[in-house]
A and B are shown apart, each in its own frame.
Chain A
Amino acid sequence: MTDIPTNPPDPGASGQQTSTFPANWSPPPFIKNPLLRWGLLLGLILYLFLSIGSLDVNWHRIYVGLDRGAKFVYGFMNPNFAGRWTDISEGMIESLVMTVTSTAIGIAISIPIGFGAARNLAPLPVYLFCRGIIALSRSFQEIIVAILFVAIFGFGPLAGVLTLSFATIGFLSKLLAEDIESIDKSQAEAVKATGSAWWQWLNYGIQPQVMPRLIGLSLYRLDINFRESAVVGLVGAGGIGATLNTAFDRYEYDTAAAILILIIGIVMLSEYISGYIRTGVQ
């Protein structure tokens, strides 16, 4: 076979101009402006230098603490369920109870707010109001909200339930609103063209399209709320968190490991069940 020419063949009689191709090629840089590119790179290196420098690791402390770390790993190997079983079971049940309550309340509140935050359904003032609530709910970490609610409502699981319900709004309403905004318009339009009232239009045109995702998201949120409920106890809002904190404080790592293993087990179980339900709903 002849070699592949590096120059294009001369078209000859047509008299067009020939051009030579460049000898090699490399992909164009991600950031076109070289000043910006190098500037960003230098800035990044400078930042990394400063931040890692500020880490101030006390290696001696870590060496001493490694001893405790080993105790923890050892505790994980033989978790102690029996020793503090009453505390553990009470805490776990309280966490589960908080999860169910807060998810139910959260879903009930999130659905109207989610519908109100969908631009294609809601008038502008309602839309802005609902989006404001969602932004508020998402800005604050659950622990911070829990601290505030404990201060207002007192210690106990109620503060935790209110915290998690509030957090659910930010999650569920936002995703629901996004799903509503991306529905197939022609399906809803066809229902409108039959002369249906607004509620019927929601029920036949919008709901069938968003229902599967709503169910999936609710199950996911159930899982998230359980994991969060294990933590809000640290600030006094009820659940297994308080028991866990006590175990850590007393260096009872075997009990702590038992609690952690239980949490992981319940999360795995819920993941399995929710996957099953979700395929059923599809």
Chain B
Amino acid sequence: MAETLSSGTKVWQYRSRNKQLLSWFIWLIGTALFMYCWQRVSESTTWFFVWDAPRIAADIGSRMIPPRWSYINELWEPLWDTLNIATIGTMMAIVMALPVAFLAARNTTPSTRFIRPLALLIIVSSRSINSLIWSLLLVSIMDRAWWQE
């Protein structure tokens, strides 16, 4: 932003005055927002526990070491299950995801009016809801708690 003053010297500013004001304003709003949010978090926190945290952390830490390796015998089956969840889940995901991807891409979708928004909606829904929530839902449908048979 170069201007020439009346004395003939040229001045230069990094940002014009309006942009500078806008920049300060945004920082102000951001800081105010952060302070407000921090205030709310702080209100809902039992600070007594927080000050006690190092002691508790040390306690937990001391109980973590040494790890109880004998427990590994109960872990083989869950490990196998975890591996299967990952692989079979990924395979099923690829089968479902590839068509949706092609339907959602602007240059390969057969219809930009109807099919593409639908595919995008599927993608957004899948992204927005954490997989844990889906599993909550599916568990409640299939009702398969570990203590039941």
Interface set of A (CB-CB < 8 Å, partner B)? 47, 51-52, 54-55, 58, 61-62, 64-66, 68-69, 72, 93-94, 97-98, 100-101, 104, 143, 148, 151-158, 161, 227-228, 230-231, 234, 238, 244-245, 248, 251, 256, 260, 263-264, 267-268, 271
Expressed in whole angstroms, the Cα–Cα distance for A161 and B39 within the complex equals 13
A residues near B17, Cβ cutoff 8 Å? none
B61 to chain A: closest residue by CB? A152
Given pairs A94-B40, A271-B124, 17 additional interface contacts (CB within 8 A)? A51-B87, A61-B142, A61-B143, A68-B143, A98-B37, A100-B37, A101-B37, A152-B57, A154-B50, A156-B44, A157-B44, A230-B133, A231-B133, A244-B133, A263-B129, A264-B125, A267-B128
A260 touching B45, Cβ below 8 Å = no
Q: Can you spell out 29 A-B residue pairs with CB atoms less than 8 angstroms apart?
A: A51-B88, A52-B88, A54-B80, A55-B88, A65-B141, A65-B143, A68-B141, A72-B141, A97-B40, A98-B37, A98-B41, A100-B33, A100-B37, A101-B37, A101-B38, A148-B60, A151-B56, A152-B56, A157-B41, A158-B42, A158-B50, A161-B41, A227-B130, A230-B133, A231-B130, A238-B41, A248-B140, A260-B129, A263-B128
A263 to chain B: closest residue by CB? B128
The yes or no answer to B93 lying at the interface (CB within 8 A) is no
Expressed in whole angstroms, the Cα–Cα distance for A93 and B37 within the complex equals 10
Expressed in whole angstroms, the Cα–Cα distance for A152 and B58 within the complex equals 9
Interface string of B70-93 (1 = CB under 8 A from A): 000000000011011001100000
Interface string of B25-53 (1 = CB under 8 A from A): 00000000110011011101110011001
Expressed in whole angstroms, the Cα–Cα distance for A260 and B130 within the complex equals 10
Given known pairs A152-B53, A153-B49, the reply for A143 and B132 (CB within 8 Å) is yes
Chain B interface residue count: which class? 35 or more
The yes or no answer to B136 lying at the interface (CB within 8 A) is yes
Given known pairs A54-B80, A100-B34, A154-B49, the reply for A234 and B132 (CB within 8 Å) is yes
B residues near A143, Cβ cutoff 8 Å? 132
B124 touching A268, Cβ below 8 Å = yes
The yes or no answer to B127 lying at the interface (CB within 8 A) is yes
Interface of A is mostly: helix
B46 to chain A: closest residue by CB? A154
CB distance from B97 to the nearest CB of A (A): 18
B84 touching A54, Cβ below 8 Å = yes
B140 touching A68, Cβ below 8 Å = yes
The yes or no answer to B105 lying at the interface (CB within 8 A) is no
B140 to chain A: closest residue by CB? A248
Given known pairs A61-B143, A68-B141, A156-B46, the reply for A97 and B129 (CB within 8 Å) is no
CB distance from A252 to the nearest CB of B (A): 11
A47 to chain B: closest residue by CB? B87
A residues near B80, Cβ cutoff 8 Å? 54
Expressed in whole angstroms, the Cα–Cα distance for A65 and B144 within the complex equals 10
A residues near B33, Cβ cutoff 8 Å? 100
B140 touching A251, Cβ below 8 Å = yes
CB distance from B94 to the nearest CB of A (A): 14
Expressed in whole angstroms, the Cα–Cα distance for A167 and B67 within the complex equals 24
